[in-house]
Each structure stands twice: as structure tokens, then as C-alpha cells.
Amino acid sequence: MLSETSVMSYFVDMEDPRTGENISHPLVNIVMIAILGVICGADGWVDIERYGNAKREWLGQFLNLEKGIPSHDTFGRFFRWLDEEAFQACFVRWTASLCRRTQGQLVAIDGKKLRRSQERRKGRDGIWMVSAWVSENRLVLGQKKVNDKSNEITAIPELLEQLDITDCVVTLDALNTQTEIARQIVEAQADYILAVKENQGTLYEDLEMLFKGFEQEYYQEVVYQTAQRENVGHDRQEFRQIWVVSEPDYRDYLRSSKLWVNLKSLVKLVTVRVTPQKTETSIRYFISSWQASAKAFLEAIRDHWQIENGLHWVLDIAFREDESRIRKNHAPQNMAVLRHLALNLLKQETSVNVGIAARRKMAGWDNDYLLKVVCP
């Protein structure tokens, strides 16, 4: 029944990391019980074992449980040994099958630290995971662990290699505004929108001076587009206006313009937030290989931050990710895949209008609802 569903079909053919006498339970049992357990509220290996024992009779309808439910030590060892790249590749193929592809689809990439994975006594910093988020489908497309003594700049190219981003628009924060990352995105037949901050040197200086010059001329002699949006709510008013300049002569004003492959658009975004206490104004600049309307840029830049609320916040609140102390070998990144997999499945199930945390509880209480989640 359950083992023949689309989600499990992507994982059952993985190479088993166990050998010889270490194999007591079939791979499909360990992977399936772990996936179902995380969907139903389990946040660690002990929880997954408890879930399996609580649901043993039901699980026995479609799994061979002759040797019982694997122990938490078995789950821990399996996911410590499991090749994270292989598990991730299965996840990416499965998620790609869920996503409704459209030209110009936004893929936001951002990093998040697993805070409790830090070991100060051993001098180990916490584990960082970089995730790709599909804005339109509100799904995790893939993730990659940042190697020790490295940063997102090295992890993102590896993540991009695993993803099919053809015809997508990839958005990245200023840390990842790197010429080689831009080139990799374009070579994958996608477009980039890259944030630019003061530490980008001449790039930021040139953009700032260019747009100041435009303002002095009231943009009258510049071929540009602009769009604006106002949002009011919760005692806060937000006004956002964007300017997009695509004329080649103005792109050439940037001293580093030739380094940015397929550079087409220069963007300035002004945001004004008004609350009863204060008024804040922020100015941000972007460069992009995308040629689109100012309104499209305004929406894309705003949607980039969905990854904060739609992914990072949900993982912290609904999955208690920041409290996880799983940190050995491949286990942290494999548990991250389990969480992302559970999150994607729970987001696909929309028959009830409740949050992800409530859906996890419902799946744990009601086997019929769990089947709706796993077999959409």
C-alpha cells in the first residue's frame, strides 16, 4: 500500500550503508518509519522509535515487521552512515516532480544555522544548511550542508549543480553576490537577482552614484521603469518603490560590468516603514541578468524573503529544528532532509486550514489523515 506511493518510490532504491551483520531491518522499514515519524511530530531518533512502537499494528499492514520496530540506536546509526549526497539526490528528484514549472519561477537560496548543533567544548561551530525554496510552490527544492571552516559561497555552487533551475530566476543575498555564482546560474539557463551591499566595493559605489545622478535629472533622460506598492496593517505602513534601468550605456558605467555575465538590469529599491514609534527608510541595490518589468522585480525581491517565513521560521516553530542536538557524521543533514520532506508533504495537503504544527499532530492522531499527507 504505502510503499508503492510516489514519495517512497524515490527512496527505496538507495544503496544501504549497512553491511553484513549490521542489517537486521529492511532499508524500506527504516526510511519509511523515519519519514512517517517526522511527519507525525517526531524530532529525533528516540521519538521515531516511539512512534513506530505506537503505530506498530498499523505499520504492519504494509511493512514486514517480523523483527519489530528498529531501535533509536539503529535509526541513529543508519542516518549517520547514510550517504547524504545520495539521500539529497533522491529528495531533489522527488521534489522536482511536485513542482509545477513555469518560466520565470523564483528560486530563493539562503542559509540557516542549526543552533543546538554547536559544540563549544570541542570548538565546533553549529552546522549551517543552505536551502533552495520555490516561491510559487512554497516547497523546499533542495539543501546542502556548508562544510566546516567554509561558508555559503562554497556550498551554493554544489547545491546549484544538483538542481534543475532551467528558466528560473534565482535570488541570493549580498554574501553570495559572486561573479562565478552568477556565471553558473546563467550557464544553467537561468537568471539571477543579486543583492549588492557596501562591502561589494566599486560595484556598490557605482550603483549609488549612478542612481544619484538619475535622481538629479529626475530620471527624465533615462529609459527606466518604476513600480510601487503600499501595505498597511498591524499599526504599520510600508511603502516600497523600485527603479529598473536596462540601457546598455548605463550598465557600462559600472567599472566591473564586464565581470558579470549577461548583466541586463540595474535595480534600486527604496522601502519606507512607518510605525507609531518611528519611520525607517532603507535603500537597496541589485544587479540582474533578468529583463522584466519593474513590477515583476518588486514582487521577486519581496518573494525572496518567503524563505524566512515559509521555511526557516516553520522549521524552528513547527519542527523545533533549532533545538535538535543531532550532530554526528551525516545525521544532521539527513535529518534536515527528513524535515524538509515532511514539510513539503504537509504543505501539499490542504484539506484543512491549520498550520504545519497542527497538521503534524493531526497526522499522528489520525491514520486516515496521514495517508492523505503521504499519498496526495
Reduce the secondary structure of the chain to three states and give it as a string.
CHHHCHHHHCCCCCCCCCCHHHCCCCHHHHHHHHHHHHHCCCCCHHHHHHHHHHCHHHHCCCCCCCCCCCCHHHHHHHHHHCCHHHHHHHHHHHHHHHCCCCCCCEEEEEEEEEHHHCEHHHCECCEEEEEEEECCCCEEEEEEECCCCCCHHHHHHHHHHHCCCCCCEEEECHHHCCHHHHHHHHHCCCEEEEEECHHHCHHHHHHHHHHHHHHHCCCCCCCEEEEEEEEEECCEEEEEEEEEECCHHHHCCCCCHHHCCCCCEEEEEEEEEECCCCEEEEEEEEEECCCCCHHHHHHHHHHHCHHHHHHHHHHHHCCCHHHCCCCCCCHHHHHHHHHHHHHHHHHHCCCCCCCHHHHHHHHHHCHHHHHHHHCC
Residue type, 280: E
Q: Which of 88, 183, 135 is nearest to 308 (CA)?
A: 135
The model's pTM: 0.86
What's the average model confidence in pLDDT over 355-362? 94
Closest CA to 51 of 372, 354, 365: 365
323 within some domain: no
Whether 306 contacts 108, CB under 8 Å: yes
Of 237, 60, 85, the C-alpha closest to 147 is 85
Query: pLDDT class for 123, splitting at 50, 70, 90?
Result: low
Rounded to an integer, what distance in angstroms lies between the CA atom of residue 348 and that of residue 359? 11
Task: With beta carbons less than 8 A apart as the criterion, state whether 136 and 105 touch.
Answer: yes
Judge if 289 and 205 occupy the same domain.
yes
By the 8 A CB rule, do 305 and 312 touch? Answer: no
Q: What is the distance between the alpha carbons of residues 81 and 329, in angstroms, rounded to a whole number?
A: 7
Segment 103-107 mean pLDDT? 82
User: Cell 505499520 sits at which residue?
Assistant: 59
Q: Judge if 346 and 255 occupy the same domain.
A: no
CA atoms within 13 A on the CB side of 43: 14
Confidence of residue 98 (pLDDT cuts 50, 70, 90): confident
We report the CATH number of the domain holding residue 182 as: 3.90.350.10
| Number of other CB atoms surrounding residue 103 within 10 Å | 8
Residue 314, pLDDT above cutoff 50? yes
Please count the structural domains in the chain.
2
Q: Which residues constitute the domain of residue 255?
A: 96-311
At 103 the pLDDT is 65
Based on the fold, state whether residues 62 and 200 are members of the same structural domain: no
Asked whether residue 34 carries a pLDDT value surpassing 70, the answer given is yes
Is residue 321 in some structural domain? no
Residue 316 located in a structural domain: no
Q: CB 171: neighbour CB atoms within 10 A?
A: 27
pLDDT at 6 over 80: no
Q: To the nearest whole percent, how much of the chain has pLDDT over 70?
A: 91
Q: Is the pLDDT of residue 52 over 70?
A: yes
Q: 201 and 104, same structural domain?
A: yes
Q: What is the pLDDT of residue 376?
A: 67
Q: What's residue 223's pLDDT?
A: 66
Average pLDDT of the segment spanning 6-26: 83
Domain check: are 79 and 134 in the same one? Answer: no
Confidence of residue 271 (pLDDT cuts 50, 70, 90): very high
Q: Are residues 171 and 33 in the same domain?
A: no
> Do both 232 and 101 map to the same domain?
yes
Q: Are 105 and 205 members of one domain?
A: yes
Residue 149 has pLDDT above 60, yes or no: no
- Look at residue 260 and tell me whether its pLDDT is greater than 60: yes
Average pLDDT over residues 330-358: 91
242 and 355 share a domain?
no
Residue 91 lies in a domain: no
User: 239 in a domain, yes or no?
Assistant: yes
Task: For residue range 228-252, list pLDDT tens digits in order.
Answer: 999 887 788 999 999 999 988 888 8
What are 187's three cell numbers? Answer: 550557464
Average predicted confidence (pLDDT) for the chain: 87
Asked, for residue 89, whether it belongs to a domain, the answer is no
Q: Is residue 61 part of a domain?
A: yes
Amino acid at 262: N
- For 320-350, b/e burial (b = at least 16 CB within 10 A) is ebbebebbeebbbbbbbbbbbbbbbbbbbbe
For residue 359, is it within any domain? yes
Give the pLDDT confidence score for residue 127 in this predicted structure: 76
Q: In terms of domains, do 233 and 351 share one?
A: no
Non-local (6+) Cβ contacts of 246 within 8 A are: 223, 224, 225, 264, 265, 266, 291
Q: What would the pLDDT profile of 171-222 be if each residue is shown by its tens digit?
A: 999 989 999 999 999 999 999 999 999 888 899 999 999 998 877 765 555 5
Q: In what order do the strands lie in the sheet with 139-145?
A: 139-145, 127-134, 106-114, 169-172, 191-196, 279-288, 265-274, 236-245, 224-233
pLDDT at residue number 232 = 83
Confidence class of residue 128 from pLDDT cuts 50, 70 and 90? confident
Same domain, 39 and 157: no
State whether 49 and 181 are in the same domain: no
| Residue 3: pLDDT over 50 | no
Q: How large is the average pLDDT for residues 282-300?
A: 95
Q: What is the mean pLDDT of residues 141-148?
A: 79
Q: Is the pLDDT of residue 291 over 70?
A: yes
